[in-house]
Structure 1
Amino acid sequence: DNFQQVREIFKEASEVLGYDVAKMCFQGPKEDLDKTYITQPCLLTAEISAFSVLKMKNIKPSFVAGHSLGEYSALVASESMEFKDAVRITSLRGSLMQNAVPEGKGAMCAVLGLDRAKVDALCAETKGYVASANYNCPGQIVISGEKDAVNEASKKAIELGAMKAIILNVSVPSHSLLMKEMSKEFERHLSEIDIKTPKVAFVNNADAKILIEPDEIRKSLVRQLYSPVLWEDSINLICQQTKVFIETGPGKVLSGLIKRINKDTKIYNVDDLNNITTSDF
């Protein structure tokens, strides 16, 4: 609330969505904020608000990347997508994801302490459909798919030596083939959104590559719905050029993942915004 520009960002999001986004973010109610069609645009708004503070300090990125939903914030930051369009499409994305699989039929699980080859193999050997959804960092992979298959794979993971296999409190099996049918409708809506060539190098989730062409970016956003997030690979790519990162989302989850991927990185986050200056880079 300390920056007029941030207030304007929340106001713009509220106008697009038809409800008070700032009130929803800071006052809830939690049961509404937890609905993914509300969660997604609210997170986007918070992230772009933090990014706007960096811009006011003349701190500009050389690369942008986002984890899953965060790709939309990255595209807004790179001026590839208009903020209002990102708000609209992430709300729709959330609605389509929520309705893609019947309640109680999908699940996700974080597997800790196994490498990706072992996790991929145990998924392939499990009856039903389950697959790796997020390659977050060495020793942390999220699997996604049919609930029974995810539960079975989580038990196998422990048997194979995983430290933990934590069933996540989500009902949407994100980044799995269970999202593929829904992705067709999403693609139709995304085709109405203007996407420009990014002004900052944009590293995508589905390939861990720098994408430049708007058509490539559009296709990537669709594929991301049913493909694994290659976060570890993306960070390794960026680390070839820089090891300084700023996490603009709430919390420090990505900061922790990045540090596990490359211990030589220097990482700032939202809590540091008031103290970061250009001399830190």
Structure 2
Amino acid sequence: MNASVIAMFPGQGSQREGMAAHLIREHPGTAGAVFERADEVLGLPLGRLCSEGDAERLRATEIAQPAILATSYAIFEVLRAEGFAPDLVTGHSLGEFTALTAAGVLDLADALLLVRRRGELMAEIAAAVPGAMTAVSGVPADRIEEICAGIDGVVELANYNAPDQSVISGTAAAVADAEELLRAEGAGSLVALRVGAPFHCSLMAALEDRFAADLAVAEFRDPAIDVLSSVTAQRVSSGDEARELLRRQLTAPVRWIETIAAAADLGCTDYLEIGPGRVLSGLANRMLDTATVRSTHDARRISAVVASYA
């Protein structure tokens, strides 16, 4: 396989107030239809929440997850209607559900229901065990792993985002202890993430069987577009494998460095972040020297992407 264009779908933390207002207003037949379907499936005014909802409401993990998926997929539908057809798709954490939907593995309705359920289960963990996630820059990943291993409590390396950026996840107390040691280690920055639960660490293990039961009910088809999993940084071969990877990703770290490297090895030269944020395009810019990297963060950028594929 020789790929050229990869679509990258973001995860939780990319949400923002009003992120879908321009989509619903300017693209009622594509983006608007996605939110109409989401409202119907979830029994939530998701379109209104993504257009008018406040930041605190959107931060709740059981709302944020379907909101980001719907917004990202709505942008994908806008682009697809204009002729955009990626060679490869991938997603960061939650974004893997969007990637699988774009690739035809999941129906939009099933994807929305699954991420709503995923968010509800994660919120249960967050309510029972206060957790936190912190982005760390300036300390090598292997040294972060060593520091976390010496902490009394659960704190683990959750995201390998870029050579100079990782994310730790765990109980609030253990993350705070790790932050203190990382400051002493010379961390360039420590940024608390806007998420509602400690994702991608062993605290999520209690959810695996329960979420596996929900995954078992949904229909998973084989990919119509090649998918790179951020759990393994390898292509997803079948719908059954996709289902298992979504179970594993609750506790498994996000291997984003390896995923982007795998895309480059497959020949990708155009990296397009499809969603409300710019984190993934920023990470790609830091890891790739000659590739074209773009985002769809706002109406202007979407118009530019549409024009380039027209």
TM-score (norm: length of structure 1):
0.95
Secondary structure of the 1:227 match is coil
Deviation at 1:102, TM superposition (A): 3.2
8 A contact 2:129–2:171 mirrored in 1:
no
Q: Give structure 1 regions of 4+ aligned residues with deviation exceeding 6 angstroms.
A: none
Give the AA of the match of 2:268.
T
2:133/2:168 contact within 8 Å kept: yes
Identity %: 33
- Work out the CA distance in 2 between the residues paired with 1:141 and 1:84: 32
Contact 1:177/1:226 (<8 A) preserved:
yes
Tell whether 2:304 aligns with 1:275: yes
Offset at residue 242 of structure 1 (A): 0.8
Query: Contact conserved, 1:37 with 1:91, CA < 8 A, in 2?
Result: yes
Q: What is residue 44 of structure 1 aligned with on the other side?
A: 69
Indicate which of 277, 290, 300 corresponds to 1:251: 277
Structure 1 pair 186–104 and aligned structure 2 pair: CA distance change class (3 A) = closer
Structure 1 CA distance, aligned partners of 2:108 and 2:139? 38
Moved more, 1-10 or 248-257: 1-10
Native 8 Å contact 1:155 1:165 kept in 2: no
| Distance 1:102-1:22 versus aligned 2 partners, 3 A rule | closer
Three-state SS of the structure 1 residue aligned to 2:289 is: coil
Which shifted more, 31-40 or 227-236?
Answer: 31-40
Deviation string, structure 1 residues 239-281 (Cα, Å, up to 9, x no partner): 1211201111112111101111213221122142212258569
The Cα RMSD (Å) is 1.6
CA shift for structure 1 position 38: 1.0
Residue 56 to residue 170, structure 1, CA distance change in 2 (3 Å): closer
> In structure 1, what residue type is equivalent to 2:283?
L
The answer (yes or no) to whether the contact 1:101–1:178 under 8 Å persists in 2 is no
Greater RCO, 1 or 2 (C-alpha within 8 Å, sep 6+): 2
Matches of 2:123 and 2:165 in 1, distance apart? Answer: 25
Other-structure match for 1:204: 229
Alignment CA distance shift 1:264-1:74 (3 Å): same
1:148 and 1:31 map into 2 onto residues whose CA distance is 23
| Pairwise CA distance, 1:103 | 5.2
Corresponding residue pairs, total: 281
Unaligned 5+ segments in structure 2 are 1-24
Where does structure 1 lack aligned partners over 5 or more consecutive residues?
A: none
For residues 227 and 307 of structure 2, the distance between their equivalents in structure 1, rounded to whole angstroms, comes to: 21
SS in 2 for 1:143: strand
How many angstroms does 1:171 deviate by?
A: 4.3
